Amino acid sequence: MNIYIFDMDGTLTPARQSMTKDFSHRFLPWLKAHLAYLAAGSNYEKVTEQLPPDIVSSFSGIYSSMGNVYHQKSKEIYRHDIKLKKEMLQALERYRKSTSYPGKLYSNYMELRPGMLNFSILGRNCPFSEREKYYKWDEINKERELISKEMNEKFPEYDFSLGGKISIDIVTKGCGKEQIAHLIRERHPNDKIIFIGDRTDIGGNDYNIASTLKNMENTEVIAVTSPEDVLDYLKI
């Protein structure tokens, strides 16, 4: 049997947006006929905001906050914490203060979630239009890439990776999405595991789960760039 694992933002939904009606209409019958898990970087509340209830309940399990929280049929099974070093937080504060981004900055630039911290120079409380503006600027100026690289070197006990469009996900080393690969392999030792995600490139927040799976037998990693790509791959 095949076991599927799906990323959420940028894979099943546009980043930080709800699943489209057309997508859920085509995906739900497929999901009901297969065994699949969700592996989201966002927290569980965002998952239930972005996905319709029948989609949420049709997954065999929902990993959120990079695998640090696990729900089965809306019941929380576990959650992990993270210890944040003062020096690491101070370094992030310095990046926020010294950014060369020319636009306005917003609040909620460090969002603590179970087992992870999400850091955004722009601030998570920005309007939607500002996200796109920052994303376009960051694509040229590579601010997030540079911060992640420097922080990975300075604080090797943590993992810094690019999530969606405006932020960096921070977990204790080993406590990112790769833990999901190990847990699912333990639960399904003989089945083929197929992961589908949009940030499987190095530095992306699907990279660790993708590379962990690639080192296991009987697995496949499918890199997609949009929900439309997922529908094409599933042929639905």
Q: Does 204 bind ligand M1P (CB under 6 A)?
A: no
* 224 touches ligand M1P (CB under 6 A): no
Of 36-44, 53-61, 78-86, 209-217, which part binds ligand M1P (CB under 6 A)? Answer: 36-44
Please list the residues that pair with 221 across neighbouring strands: 195
Q: Cβ closer to ligand M1P: 114 or 218?
A: 114
- Residue 163 found at the interface with ligand M1P (CB under 6 A): yes
Tokens 């409380």 correspond to 125
Cα angle, residue 44 at apex, residues 169 and 168 outer, rounded to 5°: 10
* 179 in contact with ligand M1P (CB under 6 A): no
Per CB under 6 A, contacts with ligand M1P among 71-100 are none
> CA dihedral in degrees (168, 179, 224, 125; nearest 10)?
-30
**Contacting ligand M1P within 96-135 (CB under 6 A):** 118
Decide if 142 contacts 134 (C-beta within 8 A): no
Q: Does 165 bind ligand M1P (CB under 6 A)?
A: yes
Among 143, 169, 208, 213, binds ligand M1P (CB under 6 A): 169
Q: Which of 151, 137, 165 is nearest to 94 (CA)?
A: 151
Count of residues touching ligand M1P (by CB under 6 A): 15
Going by C-alpha positions, the residue among 189, 214, 193 that lies closest to residue 6 is: 193
Cα torsion at 181, 198, 215, 236 (round to 10°)? 80
Site for ligand M1P, rule CB under 6 A: 8-9, 15-16, 40-42, 118, 163-167, 169, 205
